[in-house]
Every structure is written in C-alpha cells, then in structure tokens.
Structure 1
Amino acid sequence: MGKQGDGQEDNVILFPGLVAKLVEKGMSSLKEKKYYDALRYFQQSAELEPSHPQARYGLVITNIELNRLNEAKSHCESMLREGIGNYYEVLQVYVSLLVQLGDYQEVETILESVMSEERLPADMAESFYQLLEFARQMTSPEIADFEDEIDEESIEGLSTTKEWIDLLEKGETDQQWGAIQKLSQLNTKEVQNAYRTFLKEKDKNPVIKSYLLQTLKELDVKGTFEVHKFGNTYEVKIEDLEDVFHEKFGTQVINELEKELGQESPSLFEMVQQVWWHFLFALYPKSPAPLDARVWAAALHVLGLSLMDNEKNRVKQISQRYRTQAEEVNKAVIHMRTIEAHLFKTMQ
C-alpha cells in the first residue's frame, strides 16, 4: 500500500472511515457480480485493517464466487485462528468449503470436536449435523473409489475359495470389497451361490450389493438373482442391467440441474453430483420414482443448499425454478435423506 504507482493509494489512506467505504464498495461490487472489483476492495480494506470482520469475510465470499476455493479456505482458516467474525458462521462456510474440496475426513474431525463441546447454536445444529452425516458417508469404505487399495493385512493368508466366501459373508466392509474382487476371478457354482445368498440377505450393505451386481454384469454372468434392498425383495436379470454410472435418467437429471445450479454455483453443482450418483448407486438396480428429471434436479438443488447454509423453506422457491411441484420435490428430498440415514446405520 505504500507505493504511489497511480498516485491514489497513499492519498486515500489519510481519510477517516476509509475502510468502511472500501468495504461498502466491495459489497456493492459483489452484489453487481463484479467479483474482481470486489476482491480488490476487500483486499485493500483488509490490508488497512486486518481485523475488520466484514473485509475478511468479503475475501472469503468473493473467492468462492470466483471458484477460488482453496484461497477462500485459507481465509476462513485465518479468521478462525485469529478469532475474527462470528465463529460459527465462519465455521459453517469453512466446513462447506471442505466438503466441496472433498476433504471429508477433516469435516468429520472438526464437527465431531465442535459437537462434543455442546456449544453449537440451536439454529445451526441441523445444518452441521447434516454436513457431519454426509462426511461420514463419504469417508466410509463403501463410498470410497472402487479402485482404492484393499487392506492387505486384513486378507493376507487367505487361499481357499471357502475362506474368501466366509470373508464375504462375515467380514468388515473393506474385506467384503476385497472378497468380491478376489472371487470375481473364480466363476464357479459355489461362488455364484455365495453371491445369491449375499444379495438376498436383509442385513447386508446395499452399496456392497450394488457393487456385486455391477461385478456380475462386467463378468457377463447370465441369469436371475434375488435382491433385497431397503425393505423390498425383487428379482434381477443380470444381462438386462444398465451401467449405473451411464444411466440415462441419471444423466438427464444432471443436465437439468446444470441449467440452474451449474450456472449459479459450479462448485455446489459438482458436490451434489456426488450425492446424486451415490444415491443412485445405493438404489441400483432400481430407479428413483417418479421418473421426472426436474423433480430430482430440484431436490438435489434443495439438498445442496441445505448442506451449504441454514436457510429453510427453499422447496417451494426451487420447485418453481424447475417448473415442478413442491410436494414431489419434498418427497424426493426426504427419500434421499432416508436412504442416507439407512446407509449410515449399516456402517455403524
């Protein structure tokens, strides 16, 4: 700030109330979506008064709008560390950024610590709880990338088909992943019978069952298997299965969502896409009802906003944007949350 390259900066420092004026200009630029102008005003005001909460918070929001999430995260961290601004409001934005950046383990660590202190404001408790539940799901073994390494220590020493089948039946989640991968190399009647038993048992994890069905499809297995998921039992013909990650309806929903949320908040759009594919994979091979892409796009929009902030009653407003019925959207939101809660219980 000490340079006089344009003859302006050193002069304005002399005026009283300068920081407030710069912050005001920053807020105006932000509202007008002139994000680089806003960033410049907030940077200047923060340099002049580093402890000014609005200036520092303005840097966070502007960087988010510019999709500079790591920069926004750093500003949040420094505000929390220095005790600047409303702690819980800053924490809420910080945790939301961690979710968008995929740092779910850090989200879980932070929120578990905060909640253990029992100092959480009542009006923010639900939002933080939802973020914590989402992070726990995303850090669980079954939500991890299917190509992640299997815990070698947990499966070393196994050599016979029976031992692998026993691990599939009684092992922990990561061990079941490993067992399916190992057993997929053995296309025997004994192995297929084990698959049949696993798929129809009521207490087995629905996501593991989805992975097993996909494996059978990839192995070009033929025939009908009985599957139990979320209280329902039905038959599945393996050769008729569609690849869930290329499911036509799933893609239609993403396309509808992109028209609204993709333009409004690209980072939030990326986050709720993960929620959507996770939800579809849990339901697989069933499709969500109703088969109305606008309903589910609106529901994902609502769910994403609920993860990002604590504002309520968004269903009617968002439903109108997607030209659909609020009642249907609300049912879809409840359905996704119910599935999430069920999966969370199976992981405990």
Structure 2
Amino acid sequence: MNEEEQKVIVFPGTVQRLIENGLNDLKGGQFEKSLHTFQEVIQFEPDHQEAIYGKWVSLLKLERHNDVIQDAYEGLPRLGHLYRDGLMIVATALVEQSRWQELADLINDAADGNHIQLNDDLEFRALLEEANSHKEAPAIEMEEETRPVPTDLTRSLRFGSAEEQWSAFQQLKTYPLVVVIDTFDDVLQDKDRSPVVKSLILLHLKDEEMETPVFVTKNEKETTIVPKTLPALENYAGDAQTEIFSALAPIESDNPHLYETCRHVWDWMAVILYPFEYERVSSMDWAAASILKHLDM
C-alpha cells in the first residue's frame, strides 16, 4: 500500500463524538483525558477549530502555559470564529508567566489584523493597559501607601466622560488598594455612577483577592459581595450564555456581521450587568440593543 492508502478512515460522526467526549471531560475536570481526546481529533482534522481550542483550554487547566504559548503562533490563524476565545486563552497563559511584552505584542497584532476591536473590547483593552503598565511603569514602593489620591482623578472617575473615567481608573489601580478603596467604595455605592466603571472596579478588587465585603448598587439592584469570590467576567453568565449562543448559532454562517454584532451586544451587556444575574429579555430588547451597539461602532 502507498501512503495515501494507509491513511486512517474516519467514520461519520467519529469526530463529533470525540469533541463531545472532550467537552464532557473538561466539564468534569478530567483535563488530561480531554487533552488526549482533542489531540486525537487534531490528528484526524488538523484545522478543527473546536479541537484546537479545547486542547488549549485543557493545557491551561493543567498549567502547561508554555505549551499553550508555543502552539498559539501556528494555531491562532486556524481558529476562525473562535479566534477571540483562543486569544484570551493564550493571553491568560502569558499573564501567568508575566510575559508582558509578548502579551502586548499579541494583542496589538490581533488588533492590527482586525481580529479584535480594542475600542469595543474592554477585556483586551484592559489586558493591554496592564501589559504596558508592567513594561513602562516603575513598581509602587511600600512607603507610597500614604500618598493621597489626586482629587482630579477622583473627580474624573465619578463625573468624567467615558474616556476620562477609563483613564482615571487605569491610573488609580496603580495605587495601593488601601489608598484607593474609599474612592472605589464611593463609586460602587453611588446609584448614578457608570455600571461599566463599577464592573472594572469589581474585577480589579477580584484580581487583588480582596476579602472585605463591599456594597454594590447597579441598575436598580444592590448587594453585598466579597470581591475575591466573584466569578470571572467571561464565565459568570453560565447557562444564560450557553442558551443565547445556541440560539445565535444558526445565523453565524448566514449573516456573520449580525452574529458578530450580537456577540458584541452580549459582551457589552455582561460588562454592564456584572455581577448581577442576567434577566430574560425580549427580541425587541435585543433588536434595540443591537441597533444602539451598531451606531456606537
């Protein structure tokens, strides 16, 4: 037999069954098993997007960060509609290894290639700011814990434009938490302040592993939470996210622009609502949100 005749025959449904098995193993915390399964799929179909992504998630869960990063340069261009999700996995691996220059280069390259839109993508925008701050800003010395917060930053965070609020937050989070926590508390408790700014503050407090409860009011809801216990932004929607993505799946190939707009709307809603539960909305609500988002893009 020649080489062509010796190729493995893949029966119909085999790949899909393996993908489902791999996903189930991931959900069950059997990361070595899921890694093996996704690698098996890649042997059959080297460009299978779900298998590449599943492999990276498995490697990340196994804390094999170098393997994720090394695989990324060849794998990212093959991810198609999963490019952003894969990019986040690689970025997380780079953060875990404090490889800030590579992280900044990765995000900038993705933006230059129009794979992400930094003006709209708060998560990657924040990661880029974080990478740049580690590259350029000197570490804050312990004796600076008593330095006062500039009043102009506090004012911009509370009353400035969206750009001024973003800039003020990025500067304030470089201060020791003990210095800025009162300012952050005031914003979290003020019902008239931006829900986006409140989400950024909560995510920062989560990253700082703050165990002191904080009171949050947002979108006519209020609660007291421990920031350290908050879920990650990309995961907190849970079943609601799974349901809406399943509903959107049929339009992905028929109308990719509408699909991407809906994904952007979902991400936008997540930042606004976090950490409160999603409420079921009507199709008219989605249509209105999509139009607003499109006008803002």
TM-score with structure 2 setting the length: 0.50
Mapping of residues 155-194 of structure 1, within 5 Å: none
Match among 260, 269, 276 for residue 316 of structure 1:
276
- What is residue 213 of structure 2 aligned with on the other side? 294
The 2-side partners of 1:62 and 1:287 are apart by: 37
Match among 146, 149, 156 for residue 229 of structure 1:
149
The 1-side partners of 2:88 and 2:53 are apart by: 12
Please tell me the residue identity of whatever aligns with 2:181.
P
- What is residue 186 of structure 1 aligned with on the other side? none
Determine whether 1:105 maps to 2:105: no
**CA 1:13–1:293 in 2, change beyond 3 Å: closer, same or farther?**
farther
Match among 65, 78, 81 for residue 83 of structure 1:
78
**CA 1:117–1:66 in 2, change beyond 3 Å: closer, same or farther?**
closer
The 1-side partners of 2:177 and 2:26 are apart by: 43
- What is residue 63 of structure 1 aligned with on the other side? 59
The 2-side partners of 1:135 and 1:307 are apart by: 22
Name which one, 1 or 2, has greater alpha-carbon Rg: 1
- What is residue 288 of structure 2 aligned with on the other side? none
**CA 1:308–1:212 in 2, change beyond 3 Å: closer, same or farther?**
farther
| 1:304-340 Cα distance to aligned partner (Å, 9 max, x none) | 64699955333125xxxxxxxxxxxxxxxxxxxxxxx
- What is residue 52 of structure 1 aligned with on the other side? 48
**CA 1:91–1:25 in 2, change beyond 3 Å: closer, same or farther?**
same
- What is residue 287 of structure 2 aligned with on the other side? none
**CA 1:22–1:306 in 2, change beyond 3 Å: closer, same or farther?**
closer
Unpaired segments ≥5 residues, structure 1: 1-9, 144-206, 215-225, 233-277, 318-348
The 1-side partners of 2:104 and 2:60 are apart by: 22
Q: CA deviation at 1:15?
A: 2.8
Q: CA deviation at 1:78?
A: 2.4
Match among 126, 130, 134 for residue 134 of structure 1:
130
| 1:220-279 Cα distance to aligned partner (Å, 9 max, x none) | xxxxxx9543229xxxxxxxxxxxxxxxxxxxxxxxxxxxxxxxxxxxxxxxxxxxxx95
Q: CA deviation at 1:74?
A: 2.7
Please tell me the residue identity of whatever aligns with 2:276.
K
**CA 1:94–1:301 in 2, change beyond 3 Å: closer, same or farther?**
farther
Determine whether 1:282 maps to 2:175: yes
The 1-side partners of 2:29 and 2:177 are apart by: 41
Q: CA deviation at 1:33?
A: 2.0
Q: CA deviation at 1:117?
A: 5.3
The 1-side partners of 2:129 and 2:236 are apart by: 13
- What is residue 68 of structure 2 aligned with on the other side? 72
**CA 1:57–1:98 in 2, change beyond 3 Å: closer, same or farther?**
same
- What is residue 253 of structure 2 aligned with on the other side? none
Q: CA deviation at 1:21?
A: 1.5
Q: In angstroms, what is the RMSD of aligned CA positions? A: 4.1
- What is residue 12 of structure 2 aligned with on the other side? 16
The 2-side partners of 1:40 and 1:118 are apart by: 32
Q: CA deviation at 1:90?
A: 2.0
- What is residue 88 of structure 2 aligned with on the other side? 92
Unpaired segments ≥5 residues, structure 2: 1-5, 153-171, 186-209, 216-224, 238-266, 278-297
Task: Provide the aligned length of Structure 1 versus Structure 2.
Answer: 186
Mapping of residues 108-123 of structure 1, within 5 Å: 108-116=104-112, 120-121=116-117
Identity of aligned residues (%): 21
The 2-side partners of 1:96 and 1:124 are apart by: 19
**CA 1:306–1:314 in 2, change beyond 3 Å: closer, same or farther?**
same
The 2-side partners of 1:17 and 1:44 are apart by: 14
Please tell me the residue identity of whatever aligns with 1:53.
Q
| 8 Å CA contact 2:111, 2:117 repeated in 1 | no
Q: CA deviation at 1:26?
A: 0.9
Higher relative contact order (CA 8 A, sep 6+): 1
| 8 Å CA contact 1:27, 1:38 repeated in 2 | yes
Q: CA deviation at 1:67?
A: 2.1
The 1-side partners of 2:75 and 2:231 are apart by: 27
The 1-side partners of 2:131 and 2:232 are apart by: 13
